[in-house]
């Protein structure tokens, strides 16, 4: 070890370099592109090299329409529940009311299904 430290460039000589340039998705393609190539090299060439456009599939267009509708509703404020976590005043009021309920009653019944009771259970414990 003493001999290594005498060399002024010893740290440089001990470096390990990793070159990621030719292993990233923009070079090798996505996982889907790789599976396309394995399944049919001609299809890979037409889609990823020649940039031939694929025909849209109806089941993708339905999902895309739903996704766009949710994003538009969120942006316009029509889907207000997205803002619930950021409404500090309302959250504070809910916590105050739940503290009152917790102190006034021994039992608390929630009628509903599934996740509707989770917040109440959490607050009571």
The DSSP-derived string for 20-82 is: -TTTSHHHH--HHHHHHHHH-HHHHIIIIIS-PPPPPPHHHHHHHHHHHHHHHHHHHTSSGGG
Q: What pLDDT is stored for residue 18 in this prediction?
A: 72
The two tokens of residue 35 are 């599976």
Q: What's the pTM?
A: 0.33
Domain spans of the chain, in order of start: 2-63, 82-124
Per-residue pLDDT of 56-113, as tens digits, reads 777 778 888 888 998 899 889 898 878 877 888 888 888 888 888 888 888 777 776 6
Report how far residue 76's alpha carbon sits from residue 71's, in angstroms, rounded to the nearest whole number.
9
**CB contact at 8 A, 109 and 116:** no
Burial of 123 (0-12, 13-18, 19+ CB in 10 A): middle
Could you tell me the two tokens for 22? 């030719």
pLDDT digits (tens, 9 = 90+) for 29-52: 677 788 888 889 999 899 888 999
Q: Which residue has the higher pLDDT, 56 or 115?
A: 56
């Amino acid at each position: 070890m003493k001999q290594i430290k005498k060399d002024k460039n010893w740290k440089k000589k001990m470096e390990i370099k990793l070159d990621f340039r030719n292993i990233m998705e923009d070079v090798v393609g996505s996982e889907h592109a790789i599976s396309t190539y394995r399944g049919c090299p001609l299809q890979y060439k037409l889609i990823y090299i020649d940039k031939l456009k694929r025909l849209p599939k109806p089941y993708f267009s339905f999902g895309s329409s739903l996704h766009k509708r949710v994003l538009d509703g969120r942006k316009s404020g029509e889907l207000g529940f997205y803002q619930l976590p950021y409404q500090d005043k309302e959250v504070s009021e809910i916590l105050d009311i739940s503290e009152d309920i917790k102190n006034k009653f021994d039992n608390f019944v929630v009628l509903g299904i599934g996740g509707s009771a989770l917040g109440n259970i959490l607050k009571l414990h």
